[in-house]
Amino acid sequence: MEIIKQITDKKGTFIERYTHQDEVLSQYQYDVTKDESYKARMNYPANGLEAQLAQIIESYMVKYELSVSQKENIERISKGNKVVIGGQQAGLFVSPMYTLHKIISIIVLAKEQSKKLGTEIVPVFWIAGEDHDFDEVNHVNVYSSEHYLHKIKYHPSEDVTDSVSTLVFEEEALKFTIDRFITSLVETKTTKSIHALLNALPNNWTDHFQFIIHTLFKDYGLLLIDSQNKAFRSLETDILVWMFDNHAEIDQAFRYGQDKMKSLINEQQIITDTNVHLFMSYDGKRQLLKCIDGKYVLPKSDAVFTKAEIRAKIQAAPHLFSNNVVTRPLMEEMMFNTLSFIGGPSEIKYWGELKQVFDFAKVEMPPVVPRMRITYTNDKVLKDMKRFNISNEDLFEFGIAKFQNEFLGSKENPLLLSQMQETISNLEKDYEAMQLLEVTQETKQLLQDNLNYHKRQFEYFKKRYHHDIKRRHDIDFKALNAIGNVLHPGGGLQERLMHPLQFINNHHFGIFDEVIESITHYGFDHTIIKP
């Protein structure tokens, strides 16, 4: 495992501003680049839920065999040890790769701060099982042998409208999806083990996600909790009631904080038209509550409730209620004794819109730490990048099309193209002169149509000429395509599309252990790694 490059964010980008004491820090509590921030955060008092929370986590996780370090960390939770926490929706077979990078970030930062602070910090991953946006999590992307990406989806027989934690896999649909995924992989010595892992999956959506994460990271003491777990939600009851009772003030604080953050970064992350900021499961659908003229409505069911009715429902059946993006971070902080929260760039931005919500609740926002960004390369790609004089910085800034066009230009016959351009220019002058003759408007139109025809023919010639160049240099263009498709697929980050199990298939089941051990210091730069 070799760290090839660490790319610093360009000046003026959000993460660069956030990690260089920019004015955006006014919307956060701590400067995450300073050790003093974590030392200061250690003095923030515990919330009093420690023993109950530890018991709930243990009950949730015990269905799979707990490692020694997980048992120790559950005990530490009960005693009030601080945690490093982050979360994510439960993707199909745990996808995409950045979910794993978020978990790796949690583990690395917890290890690093444990040493610096002289006390054990516990890594925790929050599975957002209450989420119902199934289209975001129902698929995986797999690289073909030609390094193109193919999407494989799980297709249930009915639409998913409630929390994914309620979703049970349909046996035939799951088998079909697993078979498609496995047959898309290049067979290696690891493929059969991956197939066995997938065939052993639990039939619940978030349980399958937990099972894979537990298998990969249990030896690091990683603790997991599904936010839709009934016992966990029951422990949230008093907080949910408080959030409901104060939803108007929370909404006001949020709108004010969002406007302030928008003035600093000129963009808005959270888009919501609710003023209650809680979901309610009703009529088989997870729906946002809205307060209209003192009544509480569920738009997808046309159901209407009084404040007293909603309050009573929260107390009697808290599992029917869940947070939206505005109240989820606050709930997380009120449930866990957090040293720091780990999030992606967009999460960091939307936490900045919530500073005034935390202030209203009299809850301190923890250090909000950007997760590590990692891209994986290989010897072939590195060799080809050197051959074409492509740097990682230029690839991520300009995309592979720039280098494809430059290579194409280097193989063109410049005299041919210049003479072609001269011919077109001369034609345009000749036709312009003919337009000045005394002819009818219909003839003028015919002249223009005829000129356009010739210009189209020239464009067609140029296109076929370029096609011929690409055919003659097919190996070179395939190499260029591979660089783009592997490192910068679709003009975006590899970690948003690459699937962790395909990465394991190409290496071995301990590959992420090697990634963790190769990171000697938690940093904010984009890291390029060669396994």
How many other C-beta atoms are found inside a 10 Å radius of the C-beta of residue 419?
11
pLDDT in tens, 305-327: 999 999 999 999 999 999 999 99
Mean pLDDT of 140-161: 89
Other Cβ atoms less than 10 A from the Cβ of 473: the count is: 16
Are residues 122 and 84 in contact, defined by beta-carbon separation less than 8 angstroms?
A: yes
Of the CA atoms within 13 Å of residue 154, those in its CB half-sphere come to 26
Q: How far is CA 495 from CA 99, 155, 302, 385, 489, in A?
A: 9, 24, 41, 19, 9
3-state DSSP assignment of residue 445: helix
pLDDT of residue 95: 86
pLDDT 10s digits, 198-256: 999 999 999 999 999 999 999 999 999 999 999 999 999 999 999 999 999 999 999 99
Could you give the strand order of the β-sheet that contains 368-370, starting from the edge strand earlier in sequence?
A: 223-226, 122-127, 83-88, 338-343, 368-370
CA distance 126 to 162: 19
Q: What is the per-residue DSSP string for 254-316?
A: HHHHHHHHHHHHS--------SS-EEEEETTEEEE-EEETTEEEETTTTEEE-HHHHHHHHHH
Mean pLDDT value of segment 434-463 = 92
What does each C-alpha distance from 197 to 213, 215, 217, 225, 264 come to in angstroms?
A: 12, 9, 15, 21, 47
Token pair 């149509």: residue:
449
| Three-state SS at 380 | helix
Measured on CA atoms in the order 495, 146, 179, 64, is the torsion positive or negative? negative
DSSP 2: E
Phi, psi of 435 (to 5 degrees): -65, -20
Residue 32's DSSP bridge partners are: none
- pLDDT confidence band for 145 (50 / 70 / 90): confident
Cβ–Cβ under 8 Å, residues 60 and 225: yes
Res 147: pLDDT: 79
pLDDT of 392 above 90: yes
Candidates 289, 296, 354; CA nearest to 328 is: 354
pLDDT value of residue 522: 96
- Cα distance between residue 493 and residue 169, in whole Å: 30
- Cα four-point dihedral sign 491, 495, 501, 503: positive
Closest residue by Cα to residue 210 from 332, 70, 94, 322 = 94
Question: Residue 189 contacts by C-beta under 8 Å, 6 or more apart in sequence?
Answer: 508
Residue 146 has pLDDT above 80, yes or no: no
pLDDT bucket at 439, cuts 50 / 70 / 90: confident
What CA–CA distance (Å, rounded) separates 484 from 461? 27
Mean pLDDT of 260-268: 96
Report residue 516 CA to chain centroid gap.
Answer: 19
Would you state the pLDDT for residue 359?
Answer: 98
- Tell me which residue of 45, 226, 55, 202 sits closest to 124, measured CA to CA: 226
What is the Cα–Cα distance from 508 to 74, expressed in whole angstroms?
29
pTM for the whole thing? 0.93
